[in-house]
């Protein structure tokens, strides 16, 4: 029962957050959402980082956050369910090279905007 409530709350929050624009001064970013794209790019291009096991690999944590963010948005909008984790990671990697000061949340929002 408690787990169902928690999951429902998280999905609603993800749907609400996915509908916001980064330019909105009222947008809130929490946890890994605040990580800058420059950090993503540094990690994804670091061969030593990519050799680390899942439990020690910070990039995998960020990639998991990003795919979870898009998954949460797809719960509220079924038309977003046409994507895969590799597509999300590829988009975010390219986006972050072009927008190093943007956050991972902003990168995810741009990806979601492109799917609508």
pLDDT tens by residue, 39-52: 999 998 998 888 88
The string of DSSP letters for 32-93 reads GGG-BHHHHHHHHT-HHHHHS-GGG-HHHHHHHHHHHHHHHHHHH-GGGTT--HHHHHHHHH
Neighbours of 5 (CB within 10 A): 9
Alpha carbon dihedral 32, 48, 53, 67, in 10-degree steps, equals 30
Residue of higher predicted confidence among 99 and 52: 99
Residue 38, burial from CB neighbour count under 10 angstroms (0-12, 13-18, 19+): middle
pTM, whole model, 2 decimals? 0.69
Predicted pLDDT of residue 33: 66
């Amino acid at each position: 029962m408690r787990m169902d409530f928690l999951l429902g709350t998280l999905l609603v929050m993800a749907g609400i957050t996915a509908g916001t624009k980064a330019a909105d001064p009222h947008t809130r970013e929490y946890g890994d959402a605040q990580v800058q794209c420059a950090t993503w790019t540094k990690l994804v291009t670091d061969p030593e980082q990519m050799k680390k096991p899942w439990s020690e690999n910070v990039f995998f944590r960020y990639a998991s956050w990003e795919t979870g963010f898009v998954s949460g948005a797809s719960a509220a909008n079924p038309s977003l369910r046409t994507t895969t984790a590799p597509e999300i990671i590829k988009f975010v990697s390219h986006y972050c090279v072009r927008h190093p000061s943007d956050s991972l949340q902003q990168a995810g929002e741009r990806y979601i905007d492109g799917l609508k």
